[in-house]
Structure 1
């Protein structure tokens, strides 16, 4: 597996991004039934997929998507601050060292063992990315079931408010602290830094 960190979507340029947006459509629209934009019937792309978005992507040896997450600066419009501020007690966190994680996506074509390996690689890669860039906190919005998995990874999490029903989903806002101890906390739960290969930046 390879780990890539890409800025902007250019649009849908390159095999890795191309297959990532296709995978997002299969997960968030076909599987989960989200009411989000779909381009050309194949790609899930919304208003936050702009030149300010960063994508951390795990690819296979052929350069195709296996797992990914989108990172958005909180100093600009982002999902928690723009769409779900009511999930926070007080104002949603914002800052140069606070980044939002969105669209955590595991490719549906993977078998269970491959999904776990890709997930671990992505989580370790997100922690390494934050440490390298001086990101102190990740924030995000998650459905309750997914939030429980996020907490179980072992990193330091705290709720930003109370869960609330939004349409047919119960959502909550969470903050994840990234510090020097984070890799060891993840490793204690089976997610080691060696799970994340060196990043290829573009």
Structure 2
């Protein structure tokens, strides 16, 4: 498990390229999202900037398995810029609130492998929050994925009723990071310790 931010991204170019390529395969090729493509291979948008932090799970050959992008909420992000109508009231923001975006699992895994890798990434997101003073996360998800997130065991609730956007039902959510969040994930059968986590950097 790699934690990549502006302090070490030049040293993790292989992992980042694998992540951007996997994002294109999942969000554009599979899900049909209308997103920009770089060089015909990579999904990169305006939020992939110096303030983004990436959690990237790779295999021993550094091939992408799963990843998520964490964005600061003290400036416009995906939720506030594009999907503010999903929230009944302004979503939480500030230095102790991050937005989870581009939660991505590589397509070339079997169902059992995908579940393990998914659980490792969810666990890493919670661990990163606990290690870096994150009070809560926000995010936007399509309805089937939103329902999964709500069932992971952590304290999580919708920020409003799901709405249709471009033919897809989307919902906004808030995930609380609490001292017992890892215990809650374990009780729900979701906790899965990543084998190694790079030294954390404040988001």
* TM more than 0.5: yes
Number of aligned residue pairs: 199
In the TM superposition, 1:12-161 aligns within 5 A as 14-161=13-160
Shift of 1:198: 3.1
Secondary structure of the structure 2 residue equivalent to 1:71 = strand
RMSD, matched Cα? 1.7
Distance in 2 of aligned mates of 1:72 and 1:124: 18
Give the counterpart of 2:198 among 187, 197, 200.
Answer: 200
C-alpha change, 1:15 and 1:185, in structure 2 (3 Å) is same
Distance in 1 of aligned mates of 2:155 and 2:108: 31
Distance in 2 of aligned mates of 1:198 and 1:13: 16
**Structure 1 stretches of at least 4 aligned residues deviating more than 3 Å after TM superposition:** 8-13
Shift of 1:126: 0.5
Distance in 2 of aligned mates of 1:89 and 1:190: 31
C-alpha change, 1:106 and 1:12, in structure 2 (3 Å) is farther
Q: Deviations over 1:160-184 (max 9, x none)?
A: 1111111111111100001011001
Secondary structure of the structure 1 residue equivalent to 2:67 = strand
Aligned residue number for residue 180 of structure 1: 179
C-alpha change, 1:102 and 1:130, in structure 2 (3 Å) is same
8 Å contact kept, 2:123–2:194: yes
8 Å contact kept, 2:4–2:12: no
Shift of 1:197: 2.6
C-alpha change, 1:85 and 1:11, in structure 2 (3 Å) is farther
Distance in 2 of aligned mates of 1:11 and 1:174: 32
Secondary structure of the structure 2 residue equivalent to 1:58 = strand
**Structure-1-length-normalised TM-score:** 0.94
Distance in 2 of aligned mates of 1:139 and 1:196: 22
8 Å contact kept, 2:37–2:43: yes
Shift of 1:12: 10
Shift of 1:154: 1.0
